Amino acid sequence: MFWGAKYPIVLAPMGGVGTVELAAAVSNAGGIGSLAAAYLSPQEITRQINELRSRIDRPFAVNLFAQETKPLDRDPEPMLSLLARFHEELGLAPPALPQKPAEVFEEQAAALLEAKVPIFSFTLGIPRAKLLADFESSGTIVAGTATTLAEAIALRDSGVDAIIAQGAEAGAHRGTFLDDYEKSLVPAVTLVKQIRNSLSLPVIASGGIRHGKAIAEFLDQGAAAVQIGTAFIPCPESSASDVYKRAIMTGRPEAKSVITLAFSGRPARGLSNRFIEEIEKHAEFILPFPWQNAATRALRNAAAKAGRSEFLSLWAGRGATPLRQMPAELLFKTLVKEAGL
Ligand SMILES: Cc1cc2nc3c(=O)[nH]c(=O)nc-3n(C[C@H](O)[C@H](O)[C@H](O)COP(=O)(O)O)c2cc1C
């Protein structure tokens, strides 16, 4: 048993990819489903939690980005005119920045508290002490994301119940919040070992896990659980577009796994494509998160609809095992069997 679930396997929260259906499938199969709530309004968070609760009677996690939006500190025009060229190719109106580029973390967290979620996980920082104390007193288990031992220690000092060790292989945004991301790329195996040797908190290993054998290895090394994202993207329950699923499953021979700021303004891992190559030639124009994310949103949405993978954020972890496409419950059971759990 791990946090009330039969198996120590957590479905990673996946912004823009995860769904209530995917989380429900994993929780019902005996794991812990996660809802990625970072991009959702407080009302939508409450709605999804209620919907998930109507489908499961088991533990689940809800995840947020623990950070506040800072006012834009530079002229967005150079980036917007760069993006306008791609907009033209897709027949879109020129890009514009919204007034509010992201939801407000404290308001989202209030929705989680109100809903008394069983598990709250977060990344990109550490919430203020009062908020963590509120979760604690409402009986919620709290897990924070670390990409280095120093971050794990900072999280321990903040009073979290568990550390999600996000290895360098992990797909999408780097959780790094203390140092430069280039200095915080520790392979998952090493990171788990470092944290286990220094802290007594449960560690959840994450990054590049696609096969049950890797689950067994991390558990052998003392991880309390694993958190898996990319392996579930091809599932029919994920909301990833077909072109995204195809790209990460087949991978053009030249498609490299890279970490880029081009889509969101924060480092994130995915497959390289034309958008990344062209934007990175003008790296000085990239806006800070979440402004860059807001600036590229219309293009990404249109590219998904038009099947144009060259403009899509193809977030995926780095892993040797080919991805498998099957219903989430079957994939979960396959992983459990391979891991010998
Ligand atoms: C498409 C995608 C979206 C993600 N979104 C989030 C998120 O919203 N919050 C978060 O804490 N982690 C997010 N992650 C990172 C995962 O928590 C985890 O670190 C990663 O999936 C592990 O590597 P793997 O994808 O190789 O399994 C995301 C990962 C992917 C692939």
Task: For residue 144, give the CATH number of its domain.
Answer: 3.20.20.70
Nearest CA to ligand 1 atom 5: 14
Residue that is written with structure tokens 């190719």 in the block: 89
pLDDT of residue 253: 53
Locate the ligand 1 atom nearest the alpha carbon of residue 231 and give its number. 27
Q: Which amino acid is at 316?
A: A
For residue 39, the ligand 1 atom closest to its alpha carbon is: 8
Do 132 and 142 form a contact (C-beta atoms < 8 A)?
A: yes
pLDDT given at position 235: 98
Residue 40 backbone zone (phi > 0: left; psi -120 to 50: alpha; other: beta) = beta
Closest by alpha carbon to 227, among 166, 150, 139?
166
Rounded CA gap, 36 and 47, in Å? 13
Q: How many helices (H) and strands (E) does the chain have?
A: 12, 11
What is the domain range of residue 325?
1-69+104-233+319-341
Same domain, 186 and 85: no
The pLDDT value given to residue 64: 98
For residue 239, being part of any structural domain is answered with: no
Q: Is 147 in the pocket of ligand 1 (CB under 6 A)?
A: no
77: left (phi over 0), alpha (psi -120 to 50) or beta: alpha
Rounded to whole angstroms, the Cα distance separating 232 from 316 reads: 10
Q: How far apart are CA 100 and CA 78, in angstroms?
A: 20
When divided into structural domains, the chain yields a total of 2
The angle formed by the CA atoms of residues 195, 196 and 198, to the nearest 5 degrees, is: 65
Closest among 136, 105, 139, 107 to 122, alpha carbons compared? 105
Residue whose pair of structure tokens reads 């670390």 in the numeric block? 146
- The tens digit of pLDDT for each residue in 67-117 reads 999 999 999 999 999 999 999 999 999 999 999 999 999 999 999 999 999
Distance CA 151, CA 314 (A): 27
- Residue 254: the pLDDT is 58
Examine the domain organization and report whether 78 and 64 are in the same domain.
Answer: no
Low-confidence residues of the chain, pLDDT below 50? none
Question: pLDDT tens, 119-147?
Answer: 999 999 999 999 999 999 999 999 999 99
287 shares a domain with 332: no
Closest atom of ligand 1 to 36 CA is 8
**Dihedrals phi, psi of 173, to nearest 5 degrees:** -65, 135
pTM above 0.85, yes or no: yes
Ligand 1 in contact with 209 (CB < 6 A)?
yes
What is residue 203's DSSP assignment? E
